[in-house]
Amino acid sequence: MEMTIERVNDFDGYNWLPLLAKSSQEGFQLIERMLRKRRQETFQATGEAMFVVLSTTNQVLACGGYMKQAGQPATGRIRHVYVLPEVRSHGIGTALLKKIIAEAFLSYEKLVLYSEQADPFYQGLGFVPASGEKVTHMLDKTPFSHATQ
Domain boundaries, the chain: 4-147
pLDDT at 145 over 70: no
**What pLDDT is attached to residue 63?**
97
Q: Which CATH architecture has domain 4-147?
A: 3-Layer(aba) Sandwich (3.40)
pLDDT at position 144: 56
Task: Determine what percent of the chain falls in helix, strand and coil, rounding each to the nearest 5.
Answer: 30, 30, 40
Q: What pTM was computed for the model?
A: 0.90
Neighbour-count burial for 75-84, b at 16+ CB within 10 Å, e otherwise: bbbbbbbbbb
Per-residue model confidence as pLDDT tens digits over 27-53: 999 999 999 999 889 999 999 999 999
Question: Averaged over 112-137, what is the pLDDT?
Answer: 89
Instruction: Give mean pLDDT, residues 68-94.
Output: 94
| CA–CA dist 104, 112 (Å, integer) | 11
Q: What integer best gives the mean pLDDT of the chain?
A: 92
* Kind plus residue range of the DSSP H or E element containing 38: none
